[in-house]
A and B are shown apart, each in its own frame.
Chain A
Amino acid sequence: MDINSRPVVVKRMPERLNSRTAREFLRDVRPFLAADRPQLVFDLSLVAQIDAAGVEMLLRCMSEAHKRDGDVKLASLSDQAAVVLELTRTERLFEIYETSTEAARSFSGFLPNAMRQQLLHNKRSTTQPIAA
């Protein structure tokens, strides 16, 4: 197995993620994104409000990281953030973990449990339509 020795940057996202805070957040993480093969984890546990600008900023970070062979992973999604990411079809573009630790650890190896949440979600979606 390839042992990853590069640092993983864990960043907690602000409570309100609108165009202004998204810009500020992007300015903060830009140095990390500019590094060689950046590895970032965004902790969304505090996020109570997120709009289209916030989602766009996440996508921008991901695209910047991918350009440099790196990745951005999300962790500890609040319900609000999860609903908006689902709504904007962006949750499927990110690897999402229960905790920041799990997300950081996932950079050094594949976690078989990582997909469990996603699989459960998919299984529920394909069942008969009932009010959840």
Chain B
Amino acid sequence: MDIRGILLANSEHIEGGGQAAAPLATLEVAGKSTLQRMAERLQQYGISSVSAVVETVVPLGVRNFGLPDVSCVSAAPDRFWRTAESVFNDMAQSGAELVVLVRLGSYVEVDFEKLVQFHLDRKERVTQMASDEQKLEIFCISASRRNDAASLFRTQLAHCRSECPLFQHEGYLNPLATPRDLRQFAIDILTRRTQTCPAGKEIKPGVWTAPGAMIEKGARVLAPAFVGSMARIRSGAVITRCSSIERHAEVDCGTVIENSTVLPFSYVGAGLDLAHSVAGMGRIVNLHRDVTVTIVDPKLVASMSVASGKRLMTSAAEALTYLPRLVFQGMFASTKAAQPDLQTTLRQTSPALGTAAGFETSACDTEASHKFPNMVVARRYGHQ
């Protein structure tokens, strides 16, 4: 039987203003986007002919969204549904008998075999999936029923002209509607609550790295965690508690990433503490506070260029200017004051007391300080 699949990814599901630039389905979580994961799942069930329609602000025509065996078509928001309908019609014309239609959106671990069997047993035109009375945007459509399919596409999958029986889903489901869902999805993948795995090699129990990931000496990656391809974890950085560092992201020296996702092509500055957040595209979505903050300072969080040539140029410019910068800083930086030792500091007069009181008062001028050089006298604040 000729069964084919259509994956639809558009940005209607985005809420909270977190990731407005692209549909959440195209954002990578633990190395792969939902689009990639769903395409792989369809192929695992023997549905090898899969097409994806992805909404982009600038239509790019046919483009590979990291899906080598999937024909991808990008469509402008106003032409998205028309493009999806024409992809369906093309499939029907080229001999498909059944079409499995999945709108992402949500990530659902569908048992496609059971879905198709249910559809065939009941001899239905269109079958829809549901989970606990909630309808999911996953359909099994008989390809010969073009009018039913057209009614679905023209109402943006809201209504079908014929009655759709519901096939109950029992398995993993993540609505992927908000950045919180995106974070939960990363946690579920890393803690193996899903059938899908992180896209990489498990270098030690619970720690996955994709090819080209760079973890510098002195950096710590604590399980469960994921480091994507070409991502860089600088010395002294700590990645912990189900954190996911996606491809080409960079975590600078001494930064702690805890229970967070760093999106692809994002930079997190040195000495920071990123917790319970999704960071990237110059923004931080803090899940504890339920707030999205735009970070304007590139020293804290920045976006890196997606174009590899531009990234190479930036790296080359940084390498070339490294020595001149050091020389410049050495020439014009103020001389570092010598660190006074503890005894000298303690014997110094408080700047607030000295001239104001009209006489020199020592903060610590006791004989004991000579007898016990290791003793530290802590000065209490005035109001305590």
Mark A residues whose CB is within 8 Å of B.
Answer: 2, 4, 6, 18, 36-37, 49, 51-53, 67-71, 79-80, 82-84, 86-89, 107-108, 121, 124-125, 129-132
Q: When the two chains form their complex, are residues B291 and A84 in contact, meaning their CB atoms are under 8 A apart?
A: no
Contact between A83 and B289, CB atoms less than 8 A apart: yes
A-B contact pairs, 7 of them (CB 8 A): A6-B383, A37-B352, A51-B300, A67-B351, A86-B273, A130-B184, A132-B288
Q: How far is the CA of A79 from the CA of B308 in the complex (A)?
A: 35
Please indicate the chain B residues that have their CB under 8 angstroms from the CB of A4 in the complex: 383
Asked if A129 and B274 sit within 8 Å, CB to CB, the answer is no
User: B286 to chain A: which residues have CB within 8 Å?
Assistant: 79, 83, 86
Are B275 and A125 neighbours in the complex by a CB distance under 8 Å?
yes
- In chain B, what residue has the closest Cβ to A90? B273
Q: Of the candidates A51, A70, A87, which one forms a contact with B274 in the assembled complex, judged by CB atoms under 8 Å apart?
A: A87
Q: Which chain A residues lie closer than 8 Å to B352 at the CB level?
A: 36-37, 67-70
Among A53, A67, A86: residue with most chain B CB under 10 A: A86
Task: List the count of A-B residue pairs having beta carbons below 8 Å apart.
Answer: 92
Q: Which of B194-216 contact A (CB under 8 A)?
A: none
Is the Cβ of B287 less than 8 Å from the Cβ of A87?
no
Select from chain A the residue with minimum beta-carbon distance to B181: A131
Within the complex, which residue of B290, B291, B351, B384 is in contact with A80, where a contact is CB–CB below 8 Å?
Answer: B291
In angstroms, Cα B258 to Cα A68, docked, is 37
What count of chain B residues pass the 8 Å CB interface test? 39
Q: Are A49 and B184 in contact, with the CB atoms below 8 A? A: no
Q: How far is the CB of B283 from chain A (nearest CB, A)?
A: 10
Chain A residue with Cβ nearest B379: A69
B382 touches A124 (CB 8 A): no
Q: Is the interface of B mostly helix, strand, loop or mixed?
A: loop
Flag if B297 contacts A51 (CB, 8 Å). yes
Give 3 closest A-B pairs by Cβ, nearest first: A132-B287, A51-B297, A131-B184
Give chain B nearest CB distance to A49 CB in angstroms.
Answer: 6
* Assembled-state Cα–Cα distance A86/B288 (Å): 12
Residues of chain A contacted by B382 (CB below 8 angstroms): 37, 69
A130–B184 CA distance with the chains assembled, in angstroms: 7
Given contacts A51-B296, A83-B286, contact A130 B356 (CB under 8 A): no
Q: Tell me which of A67, A71, A87, A88 contacts B381 (CB under 8 A).
A: A71
**CA separation between A58 and B183, bound complex, in Å?**
32
Residues of B within 8 A of A86 (CB): 273, 275, 286
Q: Which residue of A lies closest to B290 (CB)?
A: A132
Cβ of B347 within 8 Å of any chain A Cβ, yes or no, is: no
Task: Please determine whether B297 and A79 come into contact, CB atoms closer than 8 angstroms.
Answer: no
Alpha-carbon separation in the docked complex, A9 to B284 (Å): 32
**A83 touching B291 in the complex, CB below 8 Å, given contacts A36-B352, A108-B383:** yes
Which residues of chain A come closer than 8 Å to B299, judged between CB atoms? Answer: 51-52
Q: How far is the CB of B114 from chain A (nearest CB, A)?
A: 29
Q: Given B258, B284, B287, B350, which contacts A131 in the complex, CB threshold below 8 Å?
A: B287
Assembly CA distance A52 to B273 (angstroms): 14
* A4–B381 CA distance with the chains assembled, in angstroms: 12
- Check A68 against B273 for contact (C-beta < 8 Å): no
- Complex alpha-carbon distance, A79 and B291, angstroms: 7
Q: With A107-B383, A132-B288 given, is the CB distance from A89 to B183 under 8 Å?
A: no
C-alpha spacing A132/B278, complex, angstroms: 11
B41 on the interface (CB 8 Å rule)? no
Contact with A along B280-312 (1 / 0, CB 8 A): 000010111111011111011100000000000
Best-surrounded residue of A6, A18, A69, A87 (most CB of chain B within 10 A):
A87
Complex Cα–Cα for A132 and B383 (A): 39
User: A69 near B297 (CB under 8 angstroms)?
Assistant: no
B56 within 8 A of partner (CB):
no
CB <8 Å contact, B180 and A132: yes
Having A79-B289, A80-B293, A131-B184, one finds 9 other A-B pairs with CB under 8 Å, namely: A68-B351, A69-B381, A79-B293, A83-B284, A83-B286, A107-B383, A131-B183, A132-B180, A132-B276
